[in-house]
Chains A and B, each alone.
Chain A
Amino acid sequence: MQGTEAFRRPPSIRWRTAALLGRVTETSSAATLELDLADWSGHTAGQHVDVRLTAEDGYQAQRSYSIASAPGEPRLRITVERLEDGEVSPYLVEVMEPGDVMEVRGPIGGWFVWRTRDGGPLLLIGGGSGLVPLMSMVRHRSTTGSDLPARLLLSAKTEADILYRDELDELADRDPGLDVRATLTRSAPQGWDGYDRRVDREMLEEIAWPPQRHAHTFVCGPTGFVETVAEALVDLGHDPERIRAERFGPTGGGST
């Protein structure tokens, strides 16, 4: 504003330096990064962190990434999908070496979150890397020993693109309260026993809890995916106020 000095105040949310501890390849395009953050205060399942990278010439790029680990786990983990033409994700997924540092602030977000004390049942619907914050909820439910009924529907292009597949299979096998279903939108292998099309109203009708159960519903993925799912759920009689959405943007990565 002309003629006035902007109000100066201490930063309310702090950037901190985080070193990469390790990286696990999840699929051909996604990796989970384990971060070393001093005095990490913990998080709530569903939250994200902002990540900032600074080039040698001072150019900065900032993106948001969902936290994949459960609250209470000793190390913070984020899962990043590499986007073609991305400015940040190719570096995080392929170039960064353990010991390299980035700036992180968070945890961020108080809306797209779930704690076991919020109750159930839980309906989680994730498209592509939209599964990441939902996985933190599934892990949170598991690490707290919760038996709140939960259903997860994940959508992936091919079988090889499914994130956390072994862990989800194992969790669902030993936990009768957790029902995991998958749909493959591009190609399904012979003998595939899940769905093999884009998520639609009919699929949601089969998987969602009856509307009168007032399930805590979380939908995360590319913008088009979230729009389709949320509209179909409302059309099926689900209360819009119970549906929490996190759209990644048109590219399916939201954070490049």
Chain B
Amino acid sequence: MSPEERRLDGNAAAGLLYEVFGTEITAAPETCANCRTTRPMGAAHVYADAPGVVIRCPACEGMLICIVRVGDRLLVDLSGIGGLELLVEPDSI
């Protein structure tokens, strides 16, 4: 099956990303470390049928995030993320 047929959207990983970041993150703009394109995380491409979940840049298909669940741990590779913009509540920090 071609990558295009297996593809999901950032939304499909929203629950998992919530576990990792502790907050909703699919509306947050992320910048790809490879091509520097900035798009909301929800517009990223997700491949969930690998041993882990791989999130790729919708512009260059470079890997943004890879998350593998091993027992009671999440192993997270964030090396493809070149930037992330989060909205904070005015009084939260």
| A contact residues vs B (CB 8 Å cutoff) | 6, 9, 11-13, 48, 50, 64, 105-106, 108-113, 223-224, 227, 244-250, 254
12 contacting pairs across A/B (C-beta < 8 A):
A9-B22, A109-B11, A109-B24, A109-B42, A111-B26, A113-B27, A227-B7, A246-B12, A247-B7, A247-B12, A250-B6, A254-B12
Closest A-chain residue to B74, C-beta based?
A: A6
Q: Give the Cβ gap from A19 to chain B, nearest Cβ, in Å.
A: 21
Which 8 pairs across A and B sit closest by C-beta, in order of nearness? A111-B42, A110-B27, A12-B22, A111-B26, A13-B18, A110-B24, A109-B14, A50-B15
Closest A-chain residue to B72, C-beta based?
A: A6
A111 & B43 in contact (Cβ 8 Å cutoff): yes
A64 & B12 in contact (Cβ 8 Å cutoff): yes
Distance in angstroms between the alpha carbons of A101 and B9 in the assembled complex: 29
B1 & A250 in contact (Cβ 8 Å cutoff): yes
- Which of B6, B14, B18 counts the most A-chain CB atoms under 10 A from its CB? B14
Q: B19 within 8 Å of A by Cβ?
A: yes
B11 & A105 in contact (Cβ 8 Å cutoff): no
Given the complex, which residues of A lie within 8 Å of B25, measured CB to CB?
Answer: 110
A224 & B5 in contact (Cβ 8 Å cutoff): yes
Closest A-chain residue to B70, C-beta based?
A: A6
Closest B-chain residue to A250, C-beta based?
A: B5
Given the complex, which residues of B lie within 8 Å of A12, measured CB to CB?
Answer: 18-19, 21-23
Chain B interface size, under 10 / 10 to 19 / 20 to 34 / 35 or more: 20 to 34
Given the complex, which residues of B lie within 8 Å of A223, measured CB to CB?
Answer: 4-8
B18 & A244 in contact (Cβ 8 Å cutoff): no
Distance in angstroms between the alpha carbons of A245 and B42 in the assembled complex: 9
- Which of A11, A109, A249 counts the most B-chain CB atoms under 10 A from its CB? A109
Q: Quick one: CB contact mask for B49-70 with A, threshold 8 Å, 1 for yes?
A: 0000000000000000000000
B14 & A108 in contact (Cβ 8 Å cutoff): yes
Q: B82 within 8 Å of A by Cβ?
A: no
Q: B80 within 8 Å of A by Cβ?
A: no
B41 & A111 in contact (Cβ 8 Å cutoff): yes
B42 & A112 in contact (Cβ 8 Å cutoff): yes
B4 & A227 in contact (Cβ 8 Å cutoff): yes
Q: Give the Cβ gap from B25 to chain A, nearest Cβ, in Å.
A: 8
**Cβ-neighbour of A111 out of B7, B11, B19, B72 (below 8 A):** B11
Q: Give the Cβ gap from B14 to chain A, nearest Cβ, in Å.
A: 5
Closest A-chain residue to B46, C-beta based?
A: A247
Distance in angstroms between the alpha carbons of A158 and B45 in the assembled complex: 30
Distance in angstroms between the alpha carbons of A12 and B18 in the assembled complex: 7
- Which of B7, B25, B40, B73 counts the most A-chain CB atoms under 10 A from its CB? B7
**Given A111-B10, A111-B41, A245-B9, A106-B15 contact (CB < 8 Å):** yes
Closest A-chain residue to B25, C-beta based?
A: A110
Q: Give the Cβ gap from B3 to chain A, nearest Cβ, in Å.
A: 10
Distance in angstroms between the alpha carbons of A64 and B11 in the assembled complex: 10
Q: Give the Cβ gap from B82 to chain A, nearest Cβ, in Å.
A: 19
Distance in angstroms between the alpha carbons of A84 and B12 in the assembled complex: 21
Given the complex, which residues of B lie within 8 Å of A110, measured CB to CB?
Answer: 14, 24-27, 42
Given the complex, which residues of B lie within 8 Å of A105, measured CB to CB?
Answer: 15
Q: Give the Cβ gap from A236 to chain B, nearest Cβ, in Å.
A: 19
